[in-house]
């Protein structure tokens, strides 16, 4: 009888876990974003694409920043087709190249008088095997997920601060809880055999720098927030070895929420006018609600060191803003 009882308990726990992981949430705010300029990195697929659609439905001027011109154009057409809103365009951005980041920023600064919302959403998973370095001699994943966005934000921040309600949304992950900040090993070579460790490290860095930016620029009206979209069924694992991609795909189909569900918190942070009062500035969100951060993400001394190190490494200069 005890084995039957244990089996029943296990089955119940599995069902609850399944329902928890697949839970849906809708952005509770249907604010009209007409006249607002929103830039979203990685808006060509997955969560970013769904966020772009939701913002287009709210009549924002949506700019999708993407490495591939073809994929970006396909995404723009898909957003326009599904939302019947045509104020959508793309701009080329390769976050693994500081040169490309600067070119993208210059393009945006020349075409837009201001930017109201910057959503740093793009991310990559490890390729596996040896460390892959970018043309800037930085580990590919760390530059794509963190350093590229850090530089982009610094370059676009003057345009953001021209907005009546500037908003910065940095997409992190619950895996930040496993992350480490190791400034003496910025190429991440120590972690090359640890798979998702580098990804987790980048997500912790994102949370910490979001809090730092809120502290430094909140008095100038900037609302800076980080969030996790939850575990979503997307193509983020497209560059990993096939056997990992297959395993992740099978698990995702069973336990993950949809990309649209994952986009809801991002959209909420971009559109909710009540967040402009500063009370929740720098906070981390899940399912459109604040989630308390672990102590590792609240280390102010490490956060300040990370900020200074990132400025030096990327050439960003927040002091002139």
**Active centre residues (catalytic):** 199
d(CA 251, CA 239): 17
Q: Is 59 left (phi over 0), alpha (psi -120 to 50) or beta?
A: left
Contact 203, 142 (CB under 8 A): no
Q: What angle do CA 107, 113, 119 make, to 5 degrees?
A: 65
d(CA 134, CA 138): 5
d(CA 116, CA 222): 10
Residue 289's φ and ψ, nearest 5 degrees, are -135, 155
Q: What angle do CA 167, 168, 173 make, to 5 degrees?
A: 140
SS (H, E, C) 12-41: HHHHHHHHHHCCCCCCCCCCCCCCCEEEEE
d(CA 134, CA 65): 19
d(CA 139, CA 318): 23
Contacts of 91 (CB under 8 A, 6+ apart): 39, 63, 64, 65, 66, 72, 104, 107, 108
């Amino acid at each position: 009888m005890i084995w039957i009882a244990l089996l029943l308990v296990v089955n119940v726990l599995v069902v609850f876990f399944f329902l928890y992981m697949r839970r849906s949430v809708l952005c509770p705010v249907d604010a009209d974003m007409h006249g607002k300029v929103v830039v979203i990195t990685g808006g060509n697929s997955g969560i970013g694409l769904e966020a772009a659609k939701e913002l287009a439905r709210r009549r924002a001027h949506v700019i999708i920043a993407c490495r591939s011109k073809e994929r970006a154009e396909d995404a723009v057409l898909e957003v326009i087709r599904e939302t019947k809103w045509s104020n959508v365009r793309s701009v080329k951005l390769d976050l693994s190249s500081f040169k490309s980041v600067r070119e993208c920023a210059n393009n945006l600064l020349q075409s837009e008088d201001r930017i109201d919302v910057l959503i740093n959403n793009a991310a990559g998973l490890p390729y596996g095997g040896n460390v892959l370095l970018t043309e800037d001699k930085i580990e590919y994943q760390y530059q794509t997920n963190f350093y590229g966005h850090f530089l982009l934000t610094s370059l676009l921040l003057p345009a953001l601060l021209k907005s009546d309600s500037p908003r910065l949304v940095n997409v992190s992950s619950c895996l930040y809880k496993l992350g480490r900040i190791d400034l003496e090993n910025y190429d991440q070579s120590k972690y090359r055999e640890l798979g998702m460790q580098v990804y987790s490290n980048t997500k912790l860095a994102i949370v910490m720098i979001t809090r730092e930016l809120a502290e430094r620029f909140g008095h100038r009206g900037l609302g800076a927030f980080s969030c996790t979209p939850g575990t979503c069924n997307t193509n983020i694992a497209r560059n990993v070895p096939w056997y990992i991609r297959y395993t992740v795909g099978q698990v995702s189909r069973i336990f993950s929420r949809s990309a649209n569900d994952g986009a809801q918190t991002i959209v909420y942070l971009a559109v909710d006018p009540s967040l402009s009062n500063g009370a929740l500035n720098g906070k981390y969100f899940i399912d459109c609600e604040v989630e308390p951060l672990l102590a590792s993400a609240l280390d102010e001394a490490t956060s300040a060191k990370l900020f200074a190190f990132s400025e030096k490494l990327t050439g960003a200069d927040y002091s002139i803003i």
